[in-house]
């Protein structure tokens, strides 16, 4: 099911939905950076299956993103960076009328 993310090629992936799971692990030294591990899940039936896999990995925390064939950007579904840094996302909306 999951595979290690080595060389990302998101733009050419023909699958309908692909999940990126970023696992975060607390460092033993508080001054050290948080190690992370990225995985692509491209053979899951539902988002619940992807979430269950991520939880089963035993990471301190995790982020989950989804990308569909119609879009090129990753959309965050769950989580935040392991070190708790604040993330600011701006969404610009336009009205047709």
Q: Which of 5-9, 33-37, 71-75 is predicted with the least confidence, judged by mean pLDDT? A: 5-9
Confidence of residue 46 (pLDDT cuts 50, 70, 90): confident
pLDDT at 44: 84
pTM of the model: 0.68
Among candidate residues 64, 66, 65, 61, the one with its CA nearest the CA of residue 84: 61
State mean pLDDT over 33-62. Answer: 90
- Please give the mean pLDDT across all residues of the chain: 78
- Measured between alpha carbons, how far is 60 from 35 in angstroms, rounded to an integer? 10
Exposed/middle/buried for residue 47 (C-beta within 10 Å: 0-12, 13-18, 19+) = middle
């Amino acid at each position: 099911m999951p595979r290690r993310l080595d060389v990302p090629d998101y733009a050419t992936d023909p699958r309908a939905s692909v999940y990126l799971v970023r696992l975060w692990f607390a460092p033993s030294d508080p001054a050290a950076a948080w190690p992370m591990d990225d995985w692509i899940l491209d053979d899951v039936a539902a988002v619940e299956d992807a979430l269950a896999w991520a939880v089963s990995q035993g990471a301190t925390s995790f982020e989950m993103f989804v990308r569909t064939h119609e879009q090129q950007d990753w959309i965050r579904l769950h989580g935040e960076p392991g070190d708790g840094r604040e993330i600011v996302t701006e969404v610009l909306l336009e009205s047709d009328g």
